[in-house]
Amino acid sequence: MTDQGGREIEQDIETDFSRQMSYGDYLRLDTLLSAQVPLSDPPQHDELLFIVQHQTSELWLKLMVHELRSARALLAADELSPALKRLARVKHIQRTLTDQWSVLATLTPSEYAEIRPFLATSSGFQSAQYREVEFLLGNKDTEMVKVFGHDPATRDRLAGLLAEPSLYDEFLRLLGRRGYAVPAELLDRDWTGRRPSHAGLVDVFAGVYAAPHDHWGVYETCEELVDVEDNFQEWRFRHLQVVQRTIGQRPGTGGSSGVAFLRRALDLTFFPELYEVRARIGG
């Protein structure tokens, strides 16, 4: 027997899946590939691109949430090295998500205008998994939980994350257990909401950066976290650019101001002390 390329199929390769699990069965491709259902009428060629772009982004976000939750649990268990392995994978996921914007950027303003009416009030702003990522990294907002009031399971999942320590919080708690002078009020507090930068924590990181070889695991984790934030900001910026080239200054489908709303997000930071300490290095 030969395949379509004219190659002979090896004798031991499985070809009868009437009673065995196939590739498509394992991945549930019948379900996955039937989930792209364009709504445009008459059908618009570019709607499939828009749907696939966002569905694949949600799959990568699902994996990122999985890895961040695991990294957080490992930090809580004082398992720093495997936590860093998780963050390394997160960074690769982030790069993939950022690169995907280049595909959506092929959608011209005229082409997007043909499908925009069928999006109605749906918007990426409403992505629950994106909010999970932000909450896990520390950018918490109780108002965002209310957006999912129509979906009790999602609302409760986000409310749970809101009340739990973030990845950064667990890193600080690990430092406290290792004897670093992390201010006590950062180790046991109300985890809900964002907190302002703390000068005492900047002092702790200044000591780490002054002698990195004496604090190598902690130093490496600090830089991994900065990488994660840099990647996140790059993703945000590419999103802004694609929206700007596609709709200009028009409002977003979900009611936001569009480009202006996305630009304000660039001022947010997950790990403020890890940036502030840079002004102290070598000074």
How far from chain centre, in Å, is Cα 33? 23
Radius of gyration of the chain measured on its C-alpha atoms: 23
Q: Enumerate the known binding-site residues for heme.
A: 239
Q: Is the pTM of this model over 0.85?
A: yes
The pair of structure tokens assigned to 148 is 């999912």
Predicted pLDDT at 17: 82
Higher per-residue confidence, 9 vs 181: 181
Higher per-residue confidence, 204 vs 247: 204
- For the stretch 147-163, pLDDT in tens is 999 999 999 999 999 99
pLDDT value at 2 more than 70: no
Higher per-residue confidence, 256 vs 35: 35
Q: Enumerate the known binding-site residues for substrate.
A: 50-54, 112, 116, 253
Predicted pLDDT at 5: 59
DSSP string for residues in 83-122: HHHHHHHHHHHHHHHHHHHHHHTTS-HHHHHHHHHHHTT-
Read off the pLDDT band of 167 (50, 70, 90). very high
Predicted pLDDT at 57: 97
CA–CA dist 256, 125 (Å, integer): 9
CA–CA dist 40, 33 (Å, integer): 18
User: What sign does the CA torsion over 160, 53, 263, 92 have?
Assistant: positive
Predicted pLDDT at 169: 98
Share of the chain above pLDDT 70, in %: 95
Q: Enumerate the known binding-site residues.
A: 50-54, 112, 116, 239, 253
CA–CA dist 257, 248 (Å, integer): 11
CA–CA dist 215, 179 (Å, integer): 12
Mark out the alpha helices in 248-279 (DSSP H runs).
259-265, 272-276
CA–CA dist 113, 93 (Å, integer): 30
- For the stretch 77-135, pLDDT in tens is 999 999 999 999 999 999 999 999 999 999 999 999 999 999 988 888 789 999 999 99
DSSP string for residues in 164-205: S--HHHHHHHHHHHTT----GGGTSS--SS-----HHHHHHH
CA–CA dist 64, 87 (Å, integer): 9
CA–CA dist 141, 248 (Å, integer): 28
- For the stretch 223-258, pLDDT in tens is 999 999 999 999 999 999 998 988 887 777 766 777
Alpha carbons within 13 angstroms on the beta-carbon side of residue 176 total: 17
Q: Whose CA is closest to 76, among 144, 167, 140?
A: 167
pLDDT value at 58 more than 90: yes
